């Protein structure tokens, strides 16, 4: 774990709570100056601890109604060129909101979480994946739901805030 000063932790916690919070608002909250917060924010960005800022969107209002969680196993890791090409392909798909490589249930090695306008759009996405994967993927399992079925989004801010507070 990287060492952070008390002020760096405070600024990072405030940004995790609300990435749109201004330097002035953060300064007021943690009782320091706006230039100090600006310097700390820039330092955290340069160190790579802050890699960007994101927005939570109400998908349904934008016509995205289908959520899919796709688990699969990559067959042959000696095919490094195909594996790299497949990873880059999946990462570039606009429907993909999260892509995880690891090990898990039933020897699954990858998880894709995606959102789609409707079932037909989801089916077209699956066809694109299958065309890209060829015979390199097996044991695919899918959990599909309406966007309305999501009751809590994937959000790492709370565990990070808790960790930072614990290490003050």
Share of the chain above pLDDT 70, in %: 99
Three-state DSSP class for residue 70: strand
Average of per-residue pLDDT values in the chain: 91
CATH number of 6-55+155-166: 1.10.10
Grade residue 156 by pLDDT with cuts at 50, 70 and 90.
Answer: confident
Burial of 89 (0-12, 13-18, 19+ CB in 10 A): middle
Q: How far apart are CA 103 and CA 83, in angstroms?
A: 15
Q: Dihedrals φ, ψ of 146, to 5°?
A: -75, 155
Share of the chain above pLDDT 90, in %: 70
The domain made up of 59-149 is a member of CATH 3.40.50.970 = no
Grade residue 126 by pLDDT with cuts at 50, 70 and 90.
Answer: very high
The pLDDT tens digits of the residues spanning 33-85 come to 999 999 999 999 999 999 988 888 888 899 999 999 999 999 988 989 999 99
Fill in the DSSP letter of residue 149.
Answer: G
Domain range annotation of the chain: 6-55+155-166, 59-149
Q: How far apart are CA 141 and CA 51, in angstroms?
A: 31
């Amino acid at each position: 774990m990287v060492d952070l000063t008390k002020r760096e932790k405070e600024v990072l916690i405030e940004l995790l709570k609300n990435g749109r919070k201004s330097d002035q608002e953060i300064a007021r909250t943690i009782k320091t100056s706006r230039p100090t917060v600006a310097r700390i924010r820039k330092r955290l960005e340069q160190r790579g601890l802050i890699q960007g800022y994101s927005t939570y969107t109400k998908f349904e209002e934008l016509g995205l109604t289908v959520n899919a969680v796709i688990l699969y196993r990559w067959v042959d890791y000696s095919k490094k060129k195909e594996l790299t090409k497949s990873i880059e392909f999946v990462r570039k798909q606009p429907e993909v909101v999260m892509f995880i490589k690891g090990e898990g249930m039933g020897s699954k090695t990858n998880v894709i979480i995606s959102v789609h306008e409707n079932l037909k759009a989801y089916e077209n996405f699956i066809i694109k994946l299958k065309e890209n994967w060829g015979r390199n993927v097996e044991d695919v399992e899918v959990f599909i739901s309406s966007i309305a079925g999501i009751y809590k989004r994937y959000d790492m801010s709370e565990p990070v805030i808790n960790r930072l507070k614990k290490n003050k």
